[in-house]
Amino acid sequence: MTTQLAQRRLLTEIPGPASRALQERRGDAVAAGVGSVLPVYITSADGGLLTDADGNRLIDLGSGIAVTNVGHNAPAVVDRVRAQAAEFTHTCFMVTPYEGYVRVCEELQALTPGDHAKRSVLFNSGAEAVENAVKIARVATGRQAVVVFDHAYHGRTNLTMALTAKSVPYKHGFGPFAPEVYRVPGSYPYRDGLTGPEAAAAALDRIEKQIGGDQVAAVVIEPIQGEGGFIEPAPGFLPALADWCSRHGVVFVADEVQTGFCRTGDWFASNHENVVPDLIATAKGIAGGLPLAAVTGRAELMDAVPSGGLGGTYGGNPIACAAALGSIETMHAERLDVAARGIADTVLPRLRAIAERTGVIGDLRGRGAMLAAEFVKPGTNEPDAALTGRIAKACHAAGVVVLTCGTYGNVVRLLPPLSLSAELLDEGISVLEQAILAEAGK
């Protein structure tokens, strides 16, 4: 293996002719409902660089939406996947089980917050995990109501569409949605100006008056909201909700699908305020790119569902489990929690300087390697989605993959692989800085 330091490389415009030809073919074969942020067609990826069909190399500041936390081809993941694929690809854990599934559940038991007795069940996607957390909470409590929040994103299946806040594109036209889902205000310090305890009091008052605490099976929340805009609740908000849940026999479900596995500078975002969820849904970063998801939680809740009530043909596929074990091993060995915090320390001061210089960043927020800039019209808090879109496009044209998000479409979010080299991170952020300065007219 050569150890040549790879760099960003633009050989053609982005997307180049080979990618554009594939995009043409795609139009005749792939459903239009699947979008692509940046239609460059990838042929390989290594060290935080995506190589496309035209030979361009792009810096990845998106990690395939917070999935490749350990990089796109971490050796421990690749080796274990290869070895497992050579042994067997599938038996179905519900038919004849295998050790890898059990080992992943043991790891989840050790890594997730709280030292109570826990059990886990494995699935394929984040939506499936969240949906099953609700199933478990309903059986365990004998109640039906589920509380979710403004700006929430929990997935695209029927139940998780109901849990998700934003209509276009996630819900529009796809109804009817599942009943017994109630939405309350969350905590969005930049826009609501409330402290955590104040925001929690408002949400809990709504729950008690409009639903009744004794009717609620579960409160489902992202400890830092993802698609909704990388919204960090004000300190004290999550602990107040968790405390209310424990006093009312309500299952507190943390959706850590995007925030989990070292992304925010700790193994889970719940750790930042010492919140111990009753159930925790994980996916994305868990398995270095292979489809795997989990619900982990209190043994007495998890075991309330009788045998056969949970599962799925592919849930906890042996190759995906092997990838998860390699991914977790890499996070430990490379201290990727510490690396994530280092990314915040590098990026935030630089973007803060740009915010002061341009006046177009209303709020800069995030933890670890889950960082966001919310763009507004200068001197106001009015969202500027058009500027946000132009900045993202300029980054793409320069060979840097950034994603946007937010209820108002005005947030640039950064989710680099936690293993990204300091050089590539520096270069990626420089490109973003230039794009902001140019598009903001500074």
Sites of contact with ligand PLP (CB under 6 A):
125-127, 130, 153-155, 222, 226, 255, 257-258, 283
Q: C-beta of 167: minimal distance to ligand PLP in Å?
A: 17
| Alpha helices (H) along 289-335 | 299-302, 318-333
- Contact between 370 and 261 under an 8 Å Cβ cutoff? The reply is no
Decide whether 60 or 256 has the Cβ nearer to ligand PLP. 256
Nearer to ligand PLP, 222 or 384 (CB): 222
The closest residue (CB) to ligand PLP is 126
Q: Please check whether residue 219 is in contact with residue 243, taking contact to mean a CB–CB distance below 8 angstroms.
A: no
Q: Least distance (Å) from ligand PLP to the CB of residue 371?
A: 15
Measured in whole angstroms, the distance separating CA 147 from the mean position of its chain's CA atoms is 20
Nearer to ligand PLP, 57 or 367 (CB): 367
Give the bridge partners for 148, in sequence order: 183
Measured distance CA(78)–CA(85) in Å, rounded: 10
* Nearest distance in Å: CB 35, ligand PLP: 14
Residue with smaller CB distance to ligand PLP, 152 or 276: 152
CB of 151 to ligand PLP, least distance (A): 11
| Cα–Cα nearest to 233, from 262, 279, 192 | 192
Q: Minimal CA–CA distance to 410: which of 385, 431, 427, 391?
A: 385
Angle ∠(26,48,353) on CA atoms, nearest 5: 110
- For residue 287 the two structure tokens come to 């398995």
Alpha carbon dihedral 196, 154, 159, 192, in 10-degree steps, equals 30
The nearest distance, CB 17 to ligand PLP, in angstroms, is: 31
Smallest distance, ligand PLP to C-beta of residue 221, A = 10
Facing residues of 49 across strands? 46, 59
Would you tell me how many other CB atoms lie within 10 Å of the CB of residue 285?
30
Q: Rounded to the nearest whole angstrom, what is the least distance from the CB of residue 64 to ligand PLP in the complex?
A: 11
Comparison of 130 and 323: residue with beta carbon closer to ligand PLP: 130
Question: Who contacts 432 (Cβ-Cβ below 8 Å, separation ≥6)?
Answer: 61, 351, 391, 395, 400, 402, 412, 414
Nearer to ligand PLP, 287 or 398 (CB): 287
Q: Toward ligand PLP, which CB reaches closer, 14 or 127?
A: 127
Which residue, 67 or 245, has its beta carbon nearer to ligand PLP?
67
Residue with tokens 């925790």: 280
Q: How far is the CB of 289 from ligand PLP (least distance, A)?
A: 12
